[in-house]
């Protein structure tokens, strides 16, 4: 087998705000594996500023992985445990190589277009009017689950936005999720969660910054609002450490981004550990190109979960890879009659 990679920069249609700053571009890496005239494709979806493997030696490690592609896949992926986005890219590319169609990794009713995946509509941070406009767009587009990123503007204004939604849509008509990305301080977080809980919020992601297990455990115990761990899972590699984290904090949910937590095998390990403790979960993409999003969506469907997922960010970019993926009426579809327009 021969493996190679190349960098690819995705350009946002409009600047997208998070509590970590405003994003204009997203750098990623595409992988191609060739064997006996067949090809497999993957994406090493590095997320600069968030991925644990955002280190200076990243490209040299990716090259090392390509150079050792003929090694036993299980052993190779274990050697890359501290580079979860490379694990994700290689795992995807190897599975792609093994299929008749390199873009259909998990054949299913989803890839045959007879079923779709319910997803949330994502509202990015910005000023009041910008966020309000996005909320209106998501509702008009048929989403029945909206996720708001909060923590960038005045908290009272964010509550007003949420109140506006609830005045028009009850919790049975519209599921609301919020994502603080660690924006709250530990001392103020509980009071803010109490105020948010007045609006029938489904859950809040990562209210305080990660690595504050004691404070997060107290929040999960006292909060009237279900808490989902997200960034908290990044950089936790060992199975015993995963179990220790979930036992110590005992959240209501965990959210899994395969490119950040060790690909599909790493995510499945988190899922089994969480389910043993009665903790629920869902899957979220992390600004991958359509190549990575496609793999995540197909794998997610294979898990037979009916929970609304956090997929479908492909429409954010001006230069995304043309694919059969389509977001319509709050669902992610795979249009099997359409072809991929992709050349490595």
Write out pLDDT tens, residues 131-173: 888 888 898 899 999 999 888 788 999 999 999 889 888 888 8
Q: What is the mean pLDDT of residues 278-298?
A: 97
Q: What is the DSSP letter of 305?
A: -
End-to-end C-alpha distance for the chain, whole angstroms: 16
Q: Which two tokens stand for residue 117?
A: 């995946």
Domains of the chain with bracketed CATH:
2-97 (3.30.390.10), 117-334 (3.20.20.120)
Asked if 322 is an active-site residue, the reply is no
Which range, of 130-139, 209-218, 236-245, 318-327, averages the lowest pLDDT? 130-139
317 to each of 23, 41, 203, 205, how far by Cα in Å? 11, 20, 27, 24
Give the integer Cα–Cα distance in Å for 33 and 42.
9
| pLDDT for the residue 19 | 55
Give the integer Cα–Cα distance in Å for 27 and 39.
23
Check whether 44 has a pLDDT greater than 80: yes
Whole-model pTM?
A: 0.94
Residue 238 pLDDT class (50, 70, 90 cuts): very high
Which of 221, 276, 271 minimizes the C-alpha distance to 248? 221
Q: What is the mean pLDDT of residues 18-38?
A: 87
Residue 18 pLDDT class (50, 70, 90 cuts): low
Residue 20 pLDDT class (50, 70, 90 cuts): low
Q: What are phi and psi of 204, to 5 degrees?
A: -125, 130
Q: What is the mean pLDDT of residues 190-207?
A: 96
The one catalytic residue among 26, 138, 147, 149: 149
Contacts of 147 (CB under 8 A, 6+ apart): 120, 121, 122, 123, 176, 177, 178, 179, 310
Asked if 280 is an active-site residue, the reply is no
Residue in the structure block whose two tokens are 């992926």: 77
Cα 14-17-21 angle, rounded to 5 deg: 120
**Percent over 70 (pLDDT), the chain:** 98
Helix, strand, coil shares of the chain as percentages rounded to 5?
40, 25, 35
Give the integer Cα–Cα distance in Å for 26 and 11.
7
Average pLDDT, the chain: 94
Per-position b or e across 283-322, b if 16+ CB within 10 A of its CB: bbbbbbbbbbbbbbbbbbbebeeeebbbbbbbebbeebbe
Cα 292-236-286 angle, rounded to 5 deg: 25
List beta partners, residue 208.
183, 184
Which of 202, 235, 162, 222 minimizes the C-alpha distance to 310? 202
């Amino acid at each position: 087998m021969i493996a190679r990679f190349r960098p690819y920069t995705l350009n946002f249609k409009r600047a997208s705000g998070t509590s970590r700053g405003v994003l204009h571009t997203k750098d990623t890496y595409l992988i191609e594996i060739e064997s006996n005239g067949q090809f497999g494709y993957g994406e090493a979806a590095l997320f600069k500023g968030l991925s644990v493997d955002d280190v200076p030696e990243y490209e040299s490690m990716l090259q090392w992985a390509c150079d050792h592609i003929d090694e036993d896949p299980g052993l190779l992926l274990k050697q890359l445990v501290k580079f979860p986005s490379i694990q994700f890219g290689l795992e995807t590319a190897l599975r792609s190589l093994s299929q008749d169609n390199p873009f259909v990794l998990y054949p299913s009713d989803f890839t045959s277009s007879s079923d779709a995946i319910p997803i949330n509509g994502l509202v990015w941070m910005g000023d009041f009017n910008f966020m309000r406009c996005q909320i209106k767009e998501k509702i008009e587009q048929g989403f029945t689950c909206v996720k708001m990123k909060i923590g960038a503007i005045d908290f009272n204004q964010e509550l007003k936005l949420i109140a506006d939604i609830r005045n028009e849509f009850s919790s049975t008509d519209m599921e609301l999720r919020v994502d603080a990305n660690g924006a709250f301080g530990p001392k103020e977080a509980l009071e803010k969660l109490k105020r948010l809980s007045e609006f029938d919020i489904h859950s809040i992601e990562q209210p305080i910054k990660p690595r504050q297990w004691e404070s997060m455990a107290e929040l999960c115990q006292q909060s009237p609002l279900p808490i989902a761990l997200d960034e908290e899972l990044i950089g936790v590699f060992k199975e015993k450490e995963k179990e220790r984290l979930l036992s110590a904090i005992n959240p209501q949910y965990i959210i899994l981004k395969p490119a950040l937590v060790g690909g599909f095998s790493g995510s499945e390990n988190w899922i089994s550990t969480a389910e043993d403790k009665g903790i629920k979960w869902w899957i979220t993409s992390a600004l991958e190109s359509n190549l990575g999003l496609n793999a995540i969506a197909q794998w997610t469907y294979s898990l037979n979960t009916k929970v609304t997922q956090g997929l479908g960010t492909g429409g954010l970019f001006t230069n995304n890879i043309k694919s059969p993926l389509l977001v319509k009426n709050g669902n992610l579809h795979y249009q099997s009659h359409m072809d991929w327009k992709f050349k490595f």
